[in-house]
Amino acid sequence: MDGWQRDGADEGEPDEERPERGRSVRDTLRPPAPGQTERVSIPPPAGLRGLQTKRSSAPPPPPRLSSPPPPRPVSSRPPPPPSDRPDRRSEGPRVTAERAVARIDALGSSFPEPLPPDREQQAEKLAKDIAKAGPESAEPLKRRLVRFERDGAAALARVFPGMLWVDLSRPHRPLRSAAHLSAAAGAMVALGDHAVPFVAQLLRAARTETRLAAALVAGDLVDGALVEPLAARLHDDHPAVRNAAMLALRASALLPEARQLHAELVFTLQDEKRKVEWRQRAAWTLGQLRDAASVPHLIEALGGEAPLAETARDALRRITGKDHGRYRFRWRSWWKRNEGAGRLGWLAAALDQSDAKLRQKVFDELVLLTGRGFDRRHAVTTREGARELQAFFLAERDD
């Protein structure tokens, strides 16, 4: 039988007493016969053949001369790559250990740091933060945006005027500076010359809030390139925009561009060869500018055609605060007496008149001129209160 080889001896004869016959017991899973001693032969590894372990107390058999083992066939399959071949080391009978070799790719094992945004993206993000900023956080953001110069102005123009700090329909005080309106308006002023071309574009915007804020910024910048766009805003549909443009042009009165504009308006008003429509437009613009130096020219325009005379009279009422009729001799007489008083004196004197509506208009002009007395609006309801208000403004002038 394959599993248990015997040579015809008695069943009770132990195998170890017959070594001379050259036979060995093969490994088997069959249990030994009764009275037999089990002997299991475990083939040791090649390097440990001389250290064969015995389970029997009998002396080892004499060594057998055997032919060398046949050479192992050479496989035609190529060996695995060195990095994937496990490192096998014998650690005992039939025990092997494998060493795992990790492959690390420096490019694939980590992602590079994201590149910082470019200059335009940084300015865009900062401009959006300024558009949402309040008065308490506007100043540090404004200082950061100034470093971007023209890129900062371009980004700010796209979100202009941002979150407004006042109600334009009912301001709690006269708006005489862009710093009172929003963080974006104040930052545009801080950008200086870099903001001028963008402010000129914003003066033609569709939204009223944008035009008003741009006019306030122009009044703080005081640049000759903004004189012509501001003069166009004197014809704006919204009175707040017209007033802001007027204040900005008044602040730019000493610039060469503003002086040239005034000279062209006066020349057009006096030129009788011009069309009445052009002369009428010039008179209206001088009235919107509240130009005190144009009063004698407007008085002489009262002798022109009816449309021009009516427009010149309305401009005189706006500048002086009183109405002396449509005849030139009354206005000439008043001009001789009050030429040196200045516009503040003219308006203060006009508070003492019987018409309550005219007193209210005069008070509004005084607030635009001085920026003071906004909380004294109730004083014009009565003539006695208006006289006290008159004394207040005259005291302001003397101080």
- 13: confidence class by pLDDT, cuts 50, 70, 90: very low
For position 34, what pLDDT does the model report? 60
Q: DSSP letter at 15? A: G
**374 pLDDT above the threshold of 60:** yes
pLDDT in tens, 182-220: 999 999 999 999 999 999 999 999 999 999 999 999 999
- 379: confidence class by pLDDT, cuts 50, 70, 90: confident
**Averaged pLDDT, 266-294:** 94
Q: Which residue has the higher pLDDT, 47 or 372?
A: 372
**20 pLDDT above the threshold of 50:** no
pLDDT in tens, 115-125: 567 888 999 99
**Averaged pLDDT, 149-162:** 95
Asked if residues 188 and 217 have their Cβ atoms less than 8 Å apart, the reply is yes
In the chain, pLDDT over 90 holds for what percent of residues? 51
**171 pLDDT above the threshold of 70:** no
330 contacts: CB under 8 Å, gap ≥ 6: 324
Residues 53-62: contacts with CB under 8 Å, at least 24 apart: 56/16, 58/16, 61/19
Lowest-pLDDT choice from 41-50, 256-265, 357-366, 368-377 = 41-50
Please give the Cα distance from 221 to 231 (Å, whole number): 15
- 80: confidence class by pLDDT, cuts 50, 70, 90: low
Q: DSSP letter at 203? A: T
Q: How far is CA 211 from CA 215, 218, 242, in A?
A: 6, 10, 10
Q: How far is CA 313 from CA 256, 277, 297, 359, in A?
A: 28, 16, 11, 18
For position 343, what pLDDT does the model report? 93
338 contacts: CB under 8 Å, gap ≥ 6: 345, 346, 349
The closest of 238, 242, 194 to 219, measured between CA atoms, is 242
Positive/negative CA dihedral, 320, 321, 325, 329: negative
Please give the Cα distance from 208 to 77 (Å, whole number): 84
For position 110, what pLDDT does the model report? 52
Q: Which residue has the higher pLDDT, 267 or 399?
A: 267
Q: Which residue has the higher pLDDT, 202 or 179?
A: 202
The three-class DSSP label of residue 211 is: helix
For position 98, what pLDDT does the model report? 56
CA 254 to mean position of chain CA atoms: 36
Lowest-pLDDT choice from 12-26, 135-149, 283-297, 314-328 = 12-26
**56 pLDDT above the threshold of 80:** no
For position 288, what pLDDT does the model report? 93
**Averaged pLDDT, 222-247:** 93
Asked if residues 217 and 178 have their Cβ atoms less than 8 Å apart, the reply is yes
**Averaged pLDDT, 332-342:** 93
